C-alpha cells in the first residue's frame, strides 16, 4: 500500500510571520537585532554529497558517478513508508506549495512537507510563490529527526537525500541543513529542462545593467558568485540557479541563499541590508549578552548562511527573467596566486575552463586542509548535475556561439604569492575589473598572452593598479611563479583528461 500523510495536522502555506512565531514558540528560532530569526541546523551545517541518491529507474539518463549514486527502488519505497510514518507520528508538520522556474513556460510545481516551521520558512523564501491556482508536479518530504537504517534502507548512513524521477519525489532525512531542499530541486531541474525542454540549466548568478545587458557569474562556493552579482549599479536577476532558453535567461528560484561569514555593510551592502523580516539566518553566533550577530564567528561552521526573498534586494528584477547574456564570468578563488585577476577567453578556452570548474580550498575551510587544495567541479556544479557533463558543455558552447557572449575568467583569490604568502585580491579591484568588462572599457585594451594558460590579460583597467593585472608582476620570485604556474596547469591537464575518454 502506498504511504501517505494521514493523521498529521498540516499547516499549509502559512505566512512568514506565522512561521517565525511558531519556530520561536517551539524554541527553534531566536530573534536577532535586525529582527531576522536565527536557527541552528544541528549536526549538519552543509550538504552531504556522498549521501545523495537517485533511484535506479528504467530509461533514466543519469550519469552515475561519485555525486549521482544509485539506490534500488525497493529502498526508496521503504524509506518513503518509514519517513511518512515518522511524520504521521508528529502532532503537526508544515507544507508550502511553490514553483521552481520564473518563466511560466518551464516552471515546475513543488509541494514541500517539512517537519519544522523554520524549514517551511526557508522553502517560502527560496522558491516562487503561486499567484493563483497551484499545480503540483513534484513532492518533497523533509524530516531532520528521521534517521535511516543503512541495513534496511540501503543508504550510506543515517542522513540521506533521495530523488525518484519516476515518482517525482524527493526524500530528505537525518539532516536539518536546508540547503538540501534547495539543491535537491535544482538537481531535478538540471535533469528535466535539458532532457525534456532542450533548455540549458546553470549553476550561476545573473544581473542586468541599465541598458538591459545581462551578465552571468559561474563559480563554486566562496568564489564571490552571490557577492559580485549583488551589484548596486545593476539589477539582480538571481544569485545561484538559472536556465537559458532561446529568448534569454530565467531564475529557477525566488530567493537568495548567501554566505554571511565575515559579512559587512561596507563590502556587501545589499546582502547585509536583506537581513531583516523573514530572512532566515543559519548557524550564526550572537555577540556575548546580546542578540547582535558576530559575523566573524566560525565556531559553529564557516558555512553560515541567510535565506531571503529576492524582493529584499533593492530593484531586483521580478519576475526574474532577463535577455540573452552579453558577458559571462567564470569565478575562481585561486589560492596558489597563479591565475590573472581577469582574463579574456576564446570559445575553446571557455569550454576548457567550464569543464574543469576550478577553485581552491584553503586552510580552515575543511578539516585536515593545511595548505591550498585544488578543487575541480565540472561545469562549476558537479554535485547537482545528473546528466553527462558534455550535455551542459555542448549546450553552453552553442549558446555562446549564437549569442556572441564574451567569456571572462576572474580570480577572486590570491596575488603576490599563494595563500599564507600573498594577499587576497581586494574586492573593490575585482568589482572594478568586472565593471570595466561590462561597460566595454576592456574591449580595445592591449592584452598580453599568459605564457602558461594562453588567456589574454588586459594591461590596463580603470580603477585597478596596472601591476596587479599580470600576476607574475606581483611575485618577488618570478621563477617560483613560473614553477607554480606550470604545476597548476599540469593539474588542469590531468583533470581534463577524463573528458577526452
Residues taking part in catalysis: 47, 183, 203, 221, 225-226, 240, 305
11 DSSP β-pair partners: 94
The alpha carbon dihedral of 407, 413, 418, 422 has a sign of positive
Question: Is cis: bond before 319, omega within 30 of 0?
Answer: yes
**Pairing between β-strand 358-361 and β-strand 373-376 as defined by DSSP bridges:** antiparallel
Cβ pair 372, 379 in contact under 8 A: no
Distance, in Å, from the CA atom of 145 to the CA atom of 142, rounded to the nearest integer, reads 9
Whether the CB-CB separation of 403 and 325 falls below 8 Å is answered with: yes
Q: Measured over all CA atoms, what is the biggest interatomic distance in the chain, rounded to whole angstroms?
A: 71
Question: Positive or negative CA dihedral for 380, 384, 388, 392?
Answer: negative
Query: What gap in Å lies between CA 335 and CA 419, rounded to an integer?
Result: 5
CB-based contacts of 96: which residues, under 8 Å, 6+ apart? Answer: 12, 13, 111, 112, 114, 120, 123, 124, 127
Helices 389-403, 347-356: inter-axial angle, 10-degree rounding? 150
| Spatial separation of the C-alpha atoms in residues 353 and 400, rounded to whole Å | 14
The torsion defined by the Cα of 14, 169, 43 and 179, in degrees rounded to 10, comes to -70
Q: How far apart are CA 249 and CA 144, in angstroms?
A: 34
- Pair 225, 217: CB distance under 8 Å: yes
DSSP states of 32-43: -TTS-EEE--TT
For residue 240, report the phi and psi dihedrals to the nearest 5 degrees.
Answer: -155, -40
Contact 499, 355 (CB under 8 A): yes
Q: Which residue has the cell 549521482?
A: 68
Amino acid at each position: 500500500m502506498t504511504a501517505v500523510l494521514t493523521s498529521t495536522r498540516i499547516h499549509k502555506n502559512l505566512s512568514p510571520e506565522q512561521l517565525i512565531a511558531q519556530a520561536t514558540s517551539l524554541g527553534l528560532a531566536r530573534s536577532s537585532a535586525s529582527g531576522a530569526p536565527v536557527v541552528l541546523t544541528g549536526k549538519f551545517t552543509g550538504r552531504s554529497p556522498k549521501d545523495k541518491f537517485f533511484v535506479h529507474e528504467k530509461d533514466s539518463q543519469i550519469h552515475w558517478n561519485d555525486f549521482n549514486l544509485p539506490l534500488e527502488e525497493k529502498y526508496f519505497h521503504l524509506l518513503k513508508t518509514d519517513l511518512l510514518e515518522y511524520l504521521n507520528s508528529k502532532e503537526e508538520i508544515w507544507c508550502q506549495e511553490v514553483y521552481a522556474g520564473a518563466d511560466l513556460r518551464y516552471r515546475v510545481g513543488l509541494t514541500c512537507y517539512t517537519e519544522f516551521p523554520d524549514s517551511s520558512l526557508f522553502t517560502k523564501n527560496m522558491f516562487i510563490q503561486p499567484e493563483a491556482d497551484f499545480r503540483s508536479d513534484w513532492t518533497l518530504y523533509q524530516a531532520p529527526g528521521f534517521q535511516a537504517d543503512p541495513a534496511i534502507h540501503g543508504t550510506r548512513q543515517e542522513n540521506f537525500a533521495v530523488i525518484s524521477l519516476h515518482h517525482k519525489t524527493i526524500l530528505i532525512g537525518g539532516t536539518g541543513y536546508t540547503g538540501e531542499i534547495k539543491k535537491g530541486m535544482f538537481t531535478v531541474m538540471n535533469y528535466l529542462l535539458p532532457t525534456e525542454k532542450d533548455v540549458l540549466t546553470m549553476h550561476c548568478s545573473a544581473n542586468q545593467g541599465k541598458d538591459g545587458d545581462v551578465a552571468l557569474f559561474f563559480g563554486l562556493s566562496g568564489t564571490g558568485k552571490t557577492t559580485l552579482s549583488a551589484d548596486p549599479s545593476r539589477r539582480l536577476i538571481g544569485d545561484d540557479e538559472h536556465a537559458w532558453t532561446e529568448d534569454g535567461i530565467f531564475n529557477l528560484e525566488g530567493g537568495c541563499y548567501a554566505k554571511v561569514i565575515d559579512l559587512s555593510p561596507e563590502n556587501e551592502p545589499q546582502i547585509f541590508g536583506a537581513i531583516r523580516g523573514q530572512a532566515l539566518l543559519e548557524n550564526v553566533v550572537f555577540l556575548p549578552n546580546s542578540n547582535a550577530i558576530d559575523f566573524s564567528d566560525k565556531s559553529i561552521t564557516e558555512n553560515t548562511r541567510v535565506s531571503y526573498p529576492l524582493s529584499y534586494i533593492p530593484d531586483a528584477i521580478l519576475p526574474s527573467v532577463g535577455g540573452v547574456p552579453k558577458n559571462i564570468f567564470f569565478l575562481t578563488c585561486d589560492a596558489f596566486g597563479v591565475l590573472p585577476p581577469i582574463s579574456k577567453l576564446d570559445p575553446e578556452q571557455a569550454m576548457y575552463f567550464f569543464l574543469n570548474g576550478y577553485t581552491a580550498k584553503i586552510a580552515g575551510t575543511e578539516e585536515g586542509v593545511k595548505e591550498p587544495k585544488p578543487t575541480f567541479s565540472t561545469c562549476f556544479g558537479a554535485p547537482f548535475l545528473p546528466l553527462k557533463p558534455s550535455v551542459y558543455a555542448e549546450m553552453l558552447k552553442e549558446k555562446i556561439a549564437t549569442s556572441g557572449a564574451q567569456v571572462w575568467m576572474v580570480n577572486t583569490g590570491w596575488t603576490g604569492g599563494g595563500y599564507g604568502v600573498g594577499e587576497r585580491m581586494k574586492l573593490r579591484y575585482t568589482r572594478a575589473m568586472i565593471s570595466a568588462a561590462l561597460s566595454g572599457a576592456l574591449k580595445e585594451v592591449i592584452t598580453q598572452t599568459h605564457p602558461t594558460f594562453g588567456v589574454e590579460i588586459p594591461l590596463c583597467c580603470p580603477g585597478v593598479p596596472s601591476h596587479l593585472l599580470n600576476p607574475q608582476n606581483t611575485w618577488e620570485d618570478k621563477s617560483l611563479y613560473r614553477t607554480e604556474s606550470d604545476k597548476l596547469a599540469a593539474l588542469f591537464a590531468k583533470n581534463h583528461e577524463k573528458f577526452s575518454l
